[in-house]
Structure 1
């Protein structure tokens, strides 16, 4: 969901102030995290450079967060949730799903890799703007902090412990997507504001 705040009708400077806030957001992401951005209305984070994104319906994402303690940064954007993972994960995802025996099953899951972009939430500690604007649920750590905090594929199998692990995260995401699909089929209702869709990549 785009972060868009209309300018007050009686104030031209209000629109400039909003634009200035978004420009500061972009500079914060670039300076503090080293993440590439595009635009200011809204600010977009470019995927495939420092991170990729797994995007799922919000209801599915909340179920995953209850199952997995360490996920890496997570943002809510309207009815969708973005889970940030290591760069290159989108390319690895089809093979990983096959290995986990989820291949060929329709999942409400979209992967954003090279060339993709998502709406940037307000930086941690700053007001998000209007209701429904993108917000961090699990904010990213600063780039000088130890480790990337991004789930990565380090081999087909869990790394153990509580470290973010792409295999564990993808398996949980696929499980919750499938569970939501079965519930929709059983009740005839949609879950998380989204209908089932095939796995997609950007």
Structure 2
């Protein structure tokens, strides 16, 4: 699989992606509104966030977004591939040793079956696909000394607009396969994560393809 097999809209993500903040780990008010829109009472959630901006939140999946949860190391490889060779990523968070990749609704249902057809499926570690009826814990809007920080809960690519671009199941599948190939290749991998701090604020979102 290569990027030429992806739908046209993924190759032109730059044209449709909304403006994001200079610091990719900062959730903007518009990004917070987008996250809150996943809930039945978004204004209540926004009020809670204003009162406790350093507290994590639990959000429902399946309507505004799905979430693909992967082990942290493999997730870094996926995000590296998305940004170096693909259309970039949607919001990405780290939580309790896993990467949370936000994707279009329907991804949680389609991705497992698509992956089952791939010859590299066995090289892909356990994926947790969260869709309708599921919920995920997301990092705080603002960094702070909340106990969740000790669990590595932070935004790596934070939502910065009311309608952030999200990858579909085909793009996530492509990233899975590319990461699996890279993991078995002896070639040196060029990572967007600096060696000294694998959790540093390193994403240059202006480079979205």
TM range (shorter): 0.5 to 0.7
37-46 or 114-123, larger mean C-alpha shift = 37-46
Let me know the Cα RMSD of the aligned residues. Answer: 3.5
Match of 2:63 among 49, 53, 66: 49
Any residues of structure 2 matched to 1:18-33 within 5 Å, and which?
31-33=33-35
**2-structure distance, mates of 1:112, 1:36:** 15
1:140 corresponds in structure 2 to 159
Equivalent of residue 64 in structure 1, options 75, 78, 88? 78
Does the Cα contact within 8 Å between 2:59 and 2:138 map onto a contact in 1? Answer: yes
Distance 2:128 2:106 in 1: 14
SS of the equivalent of 2:150 reads coil
Number of corresponding residues: 141
The verdict on how the C-alpha distance between 1:61 and 1:37 changes in structure 2, with shifts beyond 3 A counting, is farther
| Bigger RCO of structures 1 and 2 (CA < 8 A, at least 6 apart) | 2
| TM-score normalized with structure 1 length | 0.56
Partner of 1:149: 165
**Which residue does the alignment assign to 1:169?**
172
Q: Is the 2:91–2:101 Cα contact (8 Å) retained in structure 1?
A: yes
- The 5-angstrom pairing of residues 162-201 of structure 1 reads 166-176=169-179
Return the offset for 1:49: 1.5
Separation in 2, partners of 1:128, 1:111: 29
**Counterpart-to-counterpart distance in 1, 2:177 and 2:115:** 8
Greater Cα radius of gyration, structure 1 or 2 = 1
SS of the aligned residue for 1:55 comes to strand
Report Cα offsets for 1:46-66 as digits up to 9, x if no partner: 111111111111111111122
Sort the Cα spacing of 1:128 and 1:61 in 2 relative to 1 into closer, same or farther, 3 A: farther
Alpha carbons of structure 1 residues 49 and 128: separation in structure 2 relative to 1, 3 Å: farther
TM-score when normalising by structure 2: 0.55
Q: Distance in 2 between matches of 1:77 and 1:117?
A: 14
Structure 1 equivalent of residue 130 of structure 2: 112
Checking the alignment, whether the CA contact within 8 Å between 1:119 and 1:134 is kept in structure 2 is no
Query: Which structure shows the bigger proportion of residues in helix conformation?
Result: 2
Structure 1: state its 5+ residue gaps: 1-24, 153-165, 183-202
| Whole-angstrom distance in 2 between the partners of 1:142 and 1:37 | 20
Distance 2:107 2:135 in 1: 15
